[in-house]
A = this chain, B = another copy of it.
C-alpha cells in the first residue's frame, strides 16, 4: 500500500508540475547562491592568490566526487553529522554529499595506499546548517584545503601549514588577523586534570568550542546544567581557557603543577614549544597566539589545531564585534586514514582549510564601497564598422583575429550603429576598436581606435595583430 501511495503521490506531483508550469518558484535552494560574472571575477582573484601559495609550497592537486558512500562519512563528524546532506535512495548505493574535503582525502589515501603526499583541493562542500548569507555562511560553500600526509619529524609540516595561512591572509590584504593554536592533547590533558570524566571529553570540548561566540558564563552553565559537569571541574576549566600567549605561556604551562603531570598535555606542550621555534624561523611567531579556549568542533583532530580570525579595524562602521570570525582552520589528524584502512594502518596528516566565502563577502563589500570597476571579460578589441552592409567583412576580420589568438568580439547585428559599438566598448572595458570601412578595405588598412583617448590610426591589415598585441600587453 505504501508503495502505491508513493506512486500516486509522485504522479500527483508530476501532474501538479505540468499544471503550474508558469508558477515556478524562481530561486536557488536555501543557503545557496549563483555567482554573477562580477562575483566570479572577484572569486577568481582570490583563488589565484590561494593556488599560487599552495603551488609555491610544492603541492600537487587532486579531485574527488561531490558525493561519497554514506558510510564513508559516518562517525567522522561527531555532533555535526546531522548536517550531512543525503541523496535519495533511488536504488543502488546510499550516498551523501561531502561535508568537508578532509574525509574524502583520507578515503583517497587509504584506497590508493598512499603514505606520502602534499596536495591541495579546492571544491564545494555541503552542510545543512542555518545559513547566514550576509555573513558568508552558506549551505554550499568552497573549501580550499592544503594537507601534508606522511611520517615526518615532528612539527615541520605543522609549521608550514601555519606559514601558508599567514602567507594567504597577507597576500589577500584583508587587514589584521590573528592565528590561534592549541593542541587536542593539551585540551584532553586539561580536562583530565580538571576532573572531567573520560566519557565527557568530547561533549565538554564542544562546549569549549563555543567560547568564540558565547561568554564564559553561558558556556559554564551549559557544561554544568546540560552536560552534568561538576561546578568545580567547570571552574578549573574556566581558569585555563582564559589563558593565551606565545612561547612564554607554553613554557609556563610546562611548569604548571597539574598539567605537567599529565602525559598527554606534556606531549602537546612539548610539540607546541617546537612549533613556536619553527614559526620564529619563518618570521611569524609574533602573529600566532597559543589559546587554550580554541577547541575546533570536528572529532578527527589528534594534535595541533589552529584557526585564523580577521580583526576588525577600529574605525569600521560594521556592526559586528571585533572578531569577524574564522577564515581558516585546521590541525593534525593522525587517526583518520587508519579508520579507512582495512588493517588500520595509520598515515599521520596535518592540514589547513581556507574558508573563502567570508573572504569573498569582505572583498565584494570592499569593491562595492570603492566603486572600483571590475572587468568581467578580457576582450582586447571589438571589430566594428561605420557603414552598413559590412557584416561579412566584420566576420572575416574577427575570425582572422581569433585564429591569431586575439581576444575579439563583434556585435551580432547586421548593421549596428557605430555609436552603439563604441558604447559597448565603454560598458565592458574593451580598450580597442578595429573599424572596417569601404575605403579602408580598398586601401588594405583597418582603422584602429583607442577607446580611452579616442585616437584613430590606420594600420595595414597584415600588421594589425601585432599592433593589437603590442597595445594590449601588460606593461
Interface residues of A (CB under 8 A from B): 14, 17-18, 21-30, 32-37, 40, 43-44, 55-69, 71-72, 74-75, 85-90, 92-93, 95, 97, 107-108, 110-112, 117, 119, 124, 126, 128, 140, 148, 150, 152-153, 156-157, 159-160, 163, 167, 278, 281-283, 339-342, 344, 376-379, 391-392, 395-396, 399, 402-403, 405-410, 412-414, 428
User: Given A87-B88, A150-B412 in contact, is the A65-B33 Cβ separation under 8 Å?
Assistant: yes
Given the complex, which residues of B lie within 8 Å of A339, measured CB to CB?
Answer: 21-22, 24
Of all chain B residues, the one with the shortest Cβ separation from A53 is B402
User: Given A71-B24, A88-B87, A90-B85 in contact, is the A55-B163 Cβ separation under 8 Å?
Assistant: no
- Oligomeric state, in number of copies? 2
Of all chain B residues, the one with the shortest Cβ separation from A18 is B75
B74 and A153 contacting across the interface, CB-CB below 8 Å: no
Given the complex, which residues of B lie within 8 Å of A95, measured CB to CB?
Answer: 29
B60 and A377 contacting across the interface, CB-CB below 8 Å: yes
Given A25-B71, A27-B69, A28-B111, 20 additional A-B pairs, CB 8 A: A22-B339, A26-B107, A26-B342, A28-B64, A29-B93, A34-B65, A34-B108, A35-B64, A36-B62, A55-B378, A58-B377, A58-B379, A58-B409, A85-B88, A86-B90, A87-B87, A153-B391, A156-B413, A167-B403, A283-B403
A119 and B37 contacting across the interface, CB-CB below 8 Å: yes
B395 and A93 contacting across the interface, CB-CB below 8 Å: no
Given the complex, which residues of B lie within 8 Å of A60, measured CB to CB?
Answer: 37, 40, 376-377
- 26 CB contacts below 8 A, A to B, read A14-B74, A17-B71, A22-B342, A24-B72, A24-B339, A24-B340, A26-B107, A26-B110, A28-B65, A28-B111, A29-B69, A33-B65, A35-B64, A36-B112, A37-B119, A56-B405, A56-B406, A57-B409, A65-B140, A66-B126, A85-B87, A87-B87, A87-B97, A88-B88, A88-B89, A163-B402
- Write the nearest CB–CB distance from A309 to chain B, whole angstroms: 23
CA distance A260 to B24 in the complex (A): 39
A63 and B87 contacting across the interface, CB-CB below 8 Å: no
A56 and B408 contacting across the interface, CB-CB below 8 Å: yes
A75 contact from B21, B30, B66, B112, Cβ within 8 A? B21
- Write the nearest CB–CB distance from A250 to chain B, whole angstroms: 18
Of all chain B residues, the one with the shortest Cβ separation from A43 is B63
Given the complex, which residues of B lie within 8 Å of A282, measured CB to CB?
Answer: 395, 399
A57 and B402 contacting across the interface, CB-CB below 8 Å: yes
Of all chain B residues, the one with the shortest Cβ separation from A156 is B412
B40 and A62 contacting across the interface, CB-CB below 8 Å: yes
The 7 closest A-B pairs by CB, nearest first: A152-B412, A37-B60, A32-B65, A58-B409, A35-B63, A86-B88, A58-B379
CA distance A412 to B151 in the complex (A): 9
- Write the nearest CB–CB distance from A120 to chain B, whole angstroms: 10
User: Given A25-B71, A29-B69, A339-B21 in contact, is the A413-B63 Cβ separation under 8 Å?
Assistant: no
Given the complex, which residues of B lie within 8 Å of A57, measured CB to CB?
Answer: 402, 407-409
Given the complex, which residues of B lie within 8 Å of A59, measured CB to CB?
Answer: 377
Of all chain B residues, the one with the shortest Cβ separation from A414 is B153
